[in-house]
Chains A and B, each alone.
Chain A
């Protein structure tokens, strides 16, 4: 809408013309004018006014300038751009108004409900679906980034037939014809195999059943490099059936995480994070909070959040848990399954005695309200032991609930792959379909999947990318992204969601369920029909339409009975399993394989956002590295960046740069998966190091290896390379007992200055805006006229709860997705030019390099009331709004970078180069149209998602009412109506945003919390963002 005022055209008066040319004209102007008009064809003189806006002189000036401008514009040949209106508008589509669609994906072993924002048919942003239990509105970093996978320009748009030299493009019609012919020849399906990743899709399972019916001799194998097989195996040992555990961290007062990164890499981490935060959140000295013990080799997200952390080689976790069980048994806890007998007298060396005794006592004190959780990397019998301990402590059914595996036919992934590879080698397989996954890359080093593929006559690959596996296949078929295809996902607790596409496949792909249905000969194999028919089977034909619509609308299929957790005690022979597997000795080096926090097992290796996401623990970008402890590095004689060779007998070896990580277990080397891809795409190729060759099938989690220094170095780039707070009061923390004694401890360390500045300050609590008659502090007149009935002024603010922040970095990616933040690449990050508006500062506390405490602090623009950046900008490109936001006017910025220097928080980012210049067209579709795409040479920074505030304001304004007295009432934006992207993604709800002028708002409560403080308050910038001090809850007996 134009704010321009209409031109004030002078009215035509009938006064005498004040100008005259001759005396005649002066005396008889009408006549002279008439004559003049007749003579020369000019306008009647009474239209010519001296006080006209446009004088002759002015006209000549403007005319000349216009001519010059027109002449200049002729120098540029502009591309022809056509603006085409909809001839038939899509339903509900209003240009400029985003739509949100509920959908679902399967993410890291869990069905995940999503709400996806779509602008004019382009999905732009992924949010969690608040109605879905796995998400409850939050998402993790990987899911936030998965929108970028949709627009990955390296996803092939066509089919390929043949491998290597003979490869040629094909069409779906070619493939369909080939398959029809092939299917007839396959008979009962001898030699036909399918390899798929684990699934939670009922439609896929139905299609698979149909496939098995059609080809009874065929087999469907499962492989996933990272999975829950060990946990399920442990449940089988303990309960006689494969079960998945759902831990209620909100109820658990004491959690012992044994090599279990349940806040990070374990399945269902997002749900765990939310529940854990719920049990940990503390709003006053009287509140209780949970306590987390972490036993782990590698510093993880869970370890960073732990109250006590024991660094222990993963191989020793078994022994530790046995010792703990022995202690519990000796203290009178009856451990079922004969475990008490089996572990009697076990001790663990090198572990402080209180880690057994005090932890056991703490667990016993919290019977039924504690949880012992074991990570996926640990062998099955350790999981079984944990189940036994939980059963003994009465946690089963209360804090730990066990549910049947969603896919009842899910088999052990490793066994399944090994069996397949053996069959392939033996020549028993002549047609192999590989759906998704990437076994050539992520298969264990001793399972030579690539080699075995050579023995298979035809490998058909359905994949998102032309990756390592696809290149070796006879057929490559593009796979559709979950946002492009129909599907369904069942959650562990029985919640069923429909995955609905937001856009037609950009690259013409099909989903794996569709392909399975096609193989199974289901006639209605197209996604929509497949999923709908599956739903019909579950809810019946009656009312299907209504259920279907409700499912699409809410994202959750309503009316389904929830799956009840498995009941029944621990009946398996856990003791036998423990005796069978003696605890490993601690001799020698061991390697731990963890999915990287950025690329997982490699699936997101071409996702530039994830590659540039600083690892939450190490802050490394665009790389993986072998983490070793400071002591081990000394032994090996390496520094960070020196190459190490890690070799595993029977598998292979990898050469990878070392990275010295404080708090890491000695003689352990951590190898993050998911890097070193050779055919990932433009971003992921040759980034980092592939560690799979050293991963053998008998040591997927951890294994004995030999480590030696190799020649050469590699530059490992971190976004933060100073890890000490230097004694400064930055991320302020206290123990629970100290907090109770001194609730405002944070103010003691960083007091808010009590002296006010010498000048009058803006009072943002004043209800009137300047335009409404409130006091204006601005030099320029307010742009907008007073608006009748406008609600009182807002005062936007954010509070950050350091107690519940785990450092997962979902906020970083959420911000990147929402605000069109470019990636800059490894070299530019090394130069210090990363563009993230939100960063997660991670500090190590304490002198002991081996036992660091960790403090985490999300830092974005603090929106200072007395912003140092604003004063120094020579062109007033960064200014304050009447609501107290510190905003950037990008098109005013000339890029002096003075604001960046003068920002004490260093949150301002500068476009040193044209970082948006090389963005592929396809990727541009992801851009949020409500946020300016910044050009090079301008500063940018967090805006508190001002576009979301404006959207809420527009929305509220549409609900303006007029009462019976004719008074206009504009609705006030309610608390919770505006959530910035970071806060929306945060599963811990550690970021709280709202209006401080609303005394009932959540943010008002948090900002006035006793342990609140402002970061660097002593500088006097008066930040609007408030931090709420971190509380740790250590066991008094272990301090």
Chain B
């Protein structure tokens, strides 16, 4: 049996539409970076760039004037700033999970989405890092938490979870970036080789680090990729665990909870997959990637979302149970207050979006329906934002001393900062789509049947090598699934 052949007994299916050749794969992916951007790209880019400009203006005003332009107050000293931070970090989680963990587990279906999700990770972590930086009262001293030798003979406080955050997130960012880049090298080389313009060839050539596709290159590449995957795997657990320590190690009721690390990791995977899904569906439609990103991939992702969504739901229930079971009156109050207090709407939005909406994926029909999964993925992202909001704001606003209770309401600048960070994310992402191979060409090629040395096409040896009519097809109807992909999916 061929190495790449799906084990149908295990419910596996083909990962690339049948009959998609090596050349076609290269074409589909590389073409996007070589042709003029479609109109949709320009529209999206225009919107995103505008929001990025709004972000720039907001941050400028914020740094000039002070954190007071946001709605943060006493007792709600953290609000949308840290909500956004944790949300973005969570989104940035899927990247490593897909690239590293699924890689180590030999989940070949990851090849269609790993580049995508890694890029998403990088940009999400950039957005996430923005928030702890600008949310400090004096961002010009943001280097104080770094253990830099200094004339004050001061070390940072190694007991502080915020400091652990600094290390965890920066490590995560570095490793994710390296992982992403290493994976890109063979594809950059492909783009370089296809380049017709000198500048383009020079840039991709520079990025490809002299890749020639020799055996030794491949061997080193595989080895380093494996090592990086092994290095990143613990990070999948560590980053969000450490982020959850910000809350779990505090004394605040509603924060001081041992369930936080696994619960945060599950939530992060959940929101990360949802964000990948949202982006993927758009790109798949705009660029016609139906042959490479198949319903099968999407369905598998939906299953993961169903799993993690249920884990998160379990965590919500368990938090309530422990609040009751612990007998701690402060803890009990916080949870009752979450569900029935001033922010009940946030809590129930969170439950609806995160726990109820993914349950739709129990149904095969819904889990394979593009519109359903698109809407649900957005709902999940909204829900996960509310989860962080609920954890942060409802715990802080009514904690120990009722005399110090207060409420939080966002200002215009809270909103523009958040929307602006979305703008920054999408701007970066759109640029990625435009200039980089959004699907790992080399890796996808490995999972098509033809990649198997023992591959025997039906009706004889070898590849017919006849030129395909892919180009016209894709240009004409980018929004439509290719007949091949359609046929495949129906077959499944």
Binding site for B on A (CB under 8 A): 720-728, 730, 779-780, 828, 831-834, 839, 841-843, 857, 859, 868, 870-876, 892-898, 900-902, 904-906, 908-914, 935-939, 1016, 1019-1021
Which residues of B from 262 to 305 have beta carbons under 8 Å from A?
Answer: none
Beyond A895-B136, A912-B68, whether A900 also contacts B403 by CB under 8 A is no
Beyond A727-B329, A875-B145, whether A905 also contacts B404 by CB under 8 A is yes
Contact A896 B162 (CB under 8 A): yes
Beyond A780-B153, A902-B252, A912-B67, whether A722 also contacts B403 by CB under 8 A is yes
Contact A875 B401 (CB under 8 A): no
Contact A900 B68 (CB under 8 A): no
A242 to B204, CA, bound (A): 101
A726 to B400, CA, bound (A): 10
A892 to B145, CA, bound (A): 10
Of the candidates A839, A896, A911, the one whose C-beta lies within 8 Å of that of B403 is: A839
Contact A730 B401 (CB under 8 A): yes
Q: In angstroms, how far is the closest chain B Cβ from the Cβ of A101?
A: 37
Q: In angstroms, how far is the closest chain A Cβ from the Cβ of B402?
A: 4
The 8 closest A-B pairs by CB, nearest first: A895-B137, A937-B137, A832-B73, A912-B68, A906-B404, A841-B403, A913-B68, A897-B77
A842 to B401, CA, bound (A): 11
Give the nearest-CB partner of B145 in chain A. Answer: A874
Contact A906 B137 (CB under 8 A): no
Contact sample, A vs B, 8 pairs, CB 8 Å cutoff: A832-B73, A871-B249, A874-B156, A874-B163, A875-B154, A898-B246, A912-B67, A913-B69
A496 to B128, CA, bound (A): 68
A120 to B4, CA, bound (A): 87
A722 to B142, CA, bound (A): 36
Contact B66 A894 (CB under 8 A): no
B144, B396, B398 — which one has the most chain A CB atoms within 10 A of its CB?
B144
Contact A912 B156 (CB under 8 A): no
Contact A897 B251 (CB under 8 A): no
A937 to B77, CA, bound (A): 12
Q: How large is the interface on B (under 10, 10 to 19, 20 to 34, 35 or more residues)?
A: 35 or more
By a CB distance below 8 angstroms, the chain A residues around B402 are 722-726, 728, 730, 843
A842 to B67, CA, bound (A): 29
Of the candidates A871, A897, A937, the one whose C-beta lies within 8 Å of that of B66 is: A937
Give the nearest-CB partner of B392 in chain A. Answer: A901
By a CB distance below 8 angstroms, the chain A residues around B75 are 832, 900-901, 906
By a CB distance below 8 angstroms, the chain B residues around A905 are 400-401, 404
Of the candidates A904, A912, A938, the one whose C-beta lies within 8 Å of that of B138 is: A938
Given A726-B333, A900-B75: 15 more A-B contacts, CB < 8 Å:
A780-B154, A831-B68, A831-B73, A875-B145, A893-B138, A895-B67, A895-B137, A896-B136, A898-B246, A901-B250, A905-B401, A906-B401, A912-B137, A936-B66, A937-B137
A317 to B252, CA, bound (A): 48
By a CB distance below 8 angstroms, the chain B residues around A876 are 154-157
Q: In angstroms, how far is the closest chain A Cβ from the Cβ of B395?
A: 9
B78 contacts the other chain (CB 8 A): yes
Which residues of B from 62 to 106 have beta carbons under 8 Å from A?
Answer: 65-69, 71-78
Contact B400 A1016 (CB under 8 A): yes
Contact A841 B401 (CB under 8 A): yes
Q: In angstroms, how far is the closest chain B Cβ from the Cβ of A527?
A: 45
Beyond A874-B162, A876-B154, A912-B72, whether A938 also contacts B137 by CB under 8 A is yes
By a CB distance below 8 angstroms, the chain B residues around A841 are 401, 403-404
Contact A897 B72 (CB under 8 A): yes
Contact A910 B77 (CB under 8 A): yes
Contact B73 A892 (CB under 8 A): no
Contact B66 A914 (CB under 8 A): yes
Which residues of B from 138 to 173 have beta carbons under 8 Å from A?
Answer: 138-139, 141-142, 144-145, 152-157, 159-163, 166
Beyond A726-B333, A730-B401, A902-B250, whether A875 also contacts B157 by CB under 8 A is yes
A901 to B249, CA, bound (A): 12
Give the nearest-CB partner of A727 in chain B. Answer: B329
By a CB distance below 8 angstroms, the chain A residues around B68 are 828, 831, 833, 912-913, 936
A843 to B401, CA, bound (A): 10
Of the candidates A723, A937, A1016, the one whose C-beta lies within 8 Å of that of B67 is: A937
By a CB distance below 8 angstroms, the chain B residues around A892 are 144, 152, 154
A336 to B105, CA, bound (A): 102
B405 contacts the other chain (CB 8 A): yes
Give the nearest-CB partner of B158 in chain A. Answer: A779
Contact B136 A894 (CB under 8 A): yes
Which residues of B from 209 to 267 have beta carbons under 8 Å from A?
Answer: 246, 249-252
Contact B66 A843 (CB under 8 A): no
B406 contacts the other chain (CB 8 A): yes
Of the candidates A842, A904, A910, the one whose C-beta lies within 8 Å of that of B399 is: A904
Which residues of B from 391 to 421 have beta carbons under 8 Å from A?
Answer: 396, 398-407
By a CB distance below 8 angstroms, the chain A residues around B405 are 721-722
A295 to B141, CA, bound (A): 57
Contact A937 B73 (CB under 8 A): no
Contact A904 B65 (CB under 8 A): no
Give the nearest-CB partner of A831 in chain B. Answer: B73
Contact B155 A894 (CB under 8 A): no
By a CB distance below 8 angstroms, the chain B residues around A1019 are 251, 400
By a CB distance below 8 angstroms, the chain B residues around A908 are 74
Give the nearest-CB partner of A911 in chain B. Answer: B137
By a CB distance below 8 angstroms, the chain B residues around A874 are 144-145, 156-157, 160, 162-163, 166
B445 contacts the other chain (CB 8 A): no
B434 contacts the other chain (CB 8 A): no
By a CB distance below 8 angstroms, the chain A residues around B252 are 901-902, 904
Q: In angstroms, how far is the closest chain B Cβ from the Cβ of A693?
A: 35
Beyond A874-B157, A892-B154, whether A913 also contacts B74 by CB under 8 A is no
B192 contacts the other chain (CB 8 A): no
By a CB distance below 8 angstroms, the chain A residues around B367 are none
Give the nearest-CB partner of B250 in chain A. Answer: A902
A892 to B156, CA, bound (A): 10
B135 contacts the other chain (CB 8 A): yes
Give the nearest-CB partner of B141 in chain A. Answer: A894
A828 to B145, CA, bound (A): 30
A904 to B72, CA, bound (A): 18
By a CB distance below 8 angstroms, the chain A residues around B67 are 895, 897, 910, 912-913, 937
A912 to B65, CA, bound (A): 9
By a CB distance below 8 angstroms, the chain B residues around A893 are 137-138
Beyond A898-B162, A910-B77, A938-B138, whether A843 also contacts B403 by CB under 8 A is yes
Contact A859 B401 (CB under 8 A): yes
A730, A875, A1016 — which one has the most chain B CB atoms within 10 A of its CB?
A875
A900, A935, A1021 — which one has the most chain B CB atoms within 10 A of its CB?
A900
A908 to B401, CA, bound (A): 13
